[in-house]
Each structure stands twice: as C-alpha cells, then as structure tokens.
Amino acid sequence: MSERNNFPKLHNASWPGVVGKGGDGEPPIDLDTMLDLTAAAEVDGVKFDGFDLFLFAPHIDIDATDDQIRELADKARSRNLEIGSVVAPVWPPTGGGSAMGSDEDRKNFLTQVSKGCRIAHLLREQGIRPNGAVRIDSACDPGSWSEDPAGNTKKIAETFREACKIAEDHDERLAAEGEICWGGMHSWRSMLQLLEEVDRPQTLGFQADMSHTLLYMLGYNAPNDALLPEGFDFADEDGFYAAYTKLTDALRPWTIDFHVAQNDGTVHGSGSHDKTGRHCLADDPNGKLDIPRAAGYWLRKKGEPTKRIRHICWDGCMFPNEVMMKPGTWENILRAMVAVRDEHGWKE
C-alpha cells in the first residue's frame, strides 16, 4: 500500500447535493451530509483526500462572514478533508449575470467572481485549501451567443480578462469549465478560441470534465465542430481515441482543473440546470468511457504524467437523492478515482 501514488489528491464534489435540486424537484442534500458520505468512503485503505465546493446556499453563502468561512474550514478539517476548487455563482439566478450581457450583467458577474475569490483566498489562508482554482463559465446560452459569435466571444473575453485581474489580486486562478450549455464555451473549438482570445494563460485555464468533453466530441450544440460522426459506434476504439487525441491535444495545454466523470453519450437537465452532458455513475454499464484510459489523455503528455493538476475531482450531478445517500455509490466512485491515480499519478 505504501508504494501507491499519493498525487494527484482525490476529491469528491459537494455540489451534486444542490445542482438540479429544489423547486419542483428533489430537496437539496445539506453540506454536512455530503461531507460525511465523502469522508466515510474507503476502498482498499484509500479514502477521499478532499472535496470541491459550490459557493452558494444552502452549502455556503457567497456572502459568508469570515467566521462562517472559518467554520467551513473546521468542518473539512474535522473530517480529515481538504478543500480544492470552488465554483463562483456567476449566473443570473444566483446573483451574477451574462458575461456577454449588459454593463449591469457583467458587473454582477464580476462581483460574484470577486466574492468567490475572497472565499477561496481565505480558505487558503486557513491552510485547508492547498490546491484548486475558482471555476467560472460564460453564464449565457449558446443560442444567444450565436446571434453574433465573434462579437459575443469578444465580450466574454473582455469580461474574463477583468475577472483575471480580480483573481490575481487574490492570488487565485480561474478555471473555465467547458459545457455544451454555455455560450462561447459550448464546443471544443469555441472554447479554445475563447481561451486564446482572453490570452491570460497564467491566470485563466480550462476545467476539463470527462462527461462534458465527450459531448464536445459529438457536437451536440455545435454540429460543425463534432469530432465523431452521427451514430458513431463506440465499439470502434481506434476511431474514438483518434478523435479523443485531437480533443485533448487542443485543450490539455490549457487544462488546470480536471473532473473524472462518466457519460453515456446523452444529455440531461433537472431543476433549473440546462441540459448538458449526462453524468452517469462510474460503473454505469451504458457509460462510453474507459475512465482510467481516457483520463490519461488529459493527465499525460508524450506518455509522462504532466504533474500539472495536483488534485482531481469526481463530478456526478443530478443523480437521485436515493442513489447519493447509498455508501456504495461513493465507494464505487472512489474506486474509479483510485484507478486513475494508480495509472497516471505520482508519489511525493
């Protein structure tokens, strides 16, 4: 056991307890319960090292006081967990605004980035957050973006550059999570163009989610950018990994945050969350990804671990509460995470 890799650190996400919950759907699962489930999971003596966090009530208020942030750090520490990347609530329903919207929209977006960076920095000062970034997206839909692709990408880039200044003032980095539901970030090519337009690689990077990037390959909201043909047979491993190589070669150089995930090649949305890549359980028989093998295309370059990403996080949103309350769910997820680290990690 002592010979096993201990990096990257293995994190669970707490936001599946709130994303797609509430309203007419299932009730949220509180943060303490999500942390207890995370801390209890164990596979062959290996446990989760930490968790990533959505900075929004009911888990943690984006306007949390310093004392409340210290209490959050204590919650993590008492369970022997670190905190990693945090999600800034940049969307209009959570107090933010479209990154390509009006001056007021963009001001609201940047205000939420600033608040998120404040919390992230305070957690780092508490010694509970050694790794991770502040996650953002464009907070607008592909349809609206498509009304003026070049102009809207320029607006988003301008907003992101302002966000970079805020992050730098807090000694933080930003990770833009590409998903098919976010305008200007809804395809691999648009995502790459946006990152290049912002041109702040020291501050803004890409958050790669294995589920969402699989939908990039299928061109769900951008057929012209599809890397796999319609009706592709996933039994064709050579064809799949040739396309996957193109995807990861383009986005890996920008990738600073990584989500281990599974997808069955379909989309899903629940509650207020738009349809995006369907997160499946790690052992879902319909999953299209060989998780350890596919992860290596993101975590290695020319056969060697990049060692650039110091923690990886499981992401599995919009599962039924009944599934999330089962300890076995998190044990199976942790088993997949351990397999990724055993194959592509390192020792320190």
pLDDT score recorded for residue 19: 86
pTM: 0.95
Residue 166 has a pLDDT of 98
Q: Look at residues 332, 318, 341 and name the one whose alpha carbon lies nearest to residue 37.
A: 332
Pick from 81, 144, 28: which is nearest to 311 by CA?
A: 81
| Amino acid identity at 112 | Q
Buried/exposed code over 271-286 (b: 16+ C-beta within 10 A; e: otherwise)? bebebbbbbbbbebee
In the prediction, which pLDDT does 276 show? Answer: 57
Query: Which two three-digit tokens encode residue 56?
Result: 């929004």
Instruction: Judge residue 348's burial from the number of C-beta atoms within 10 Å of its C-beta, 0-12 exposed, 13-18 middle, 19 or more buried.
Output: exposed
Q: What is the pLDDT of residues 313-322, one digit of tens each?
A: 999 877 899 9
What number of H helices and E strands is found in the chain?
11, 14
Taken in order of first residue, the domains within the chain and their CATH numbers are 9-344 (3.20.20.150)
Counting as low any pLDDT under 50, the low residues of the chain are 1, 269-274
φ and ψ at residue 73, rounded to 5 degrees:
-60, -40
Q: Which are the contacts of 281, defined by CB distance < 8 A and separation ≥ 6?
A: 262, 287, 316, 319, 323, 329, 332, 333
pLDDT in tens, 51-93: 999 999 999 999 999 999 999 999 999 999 999 999 999 999 9
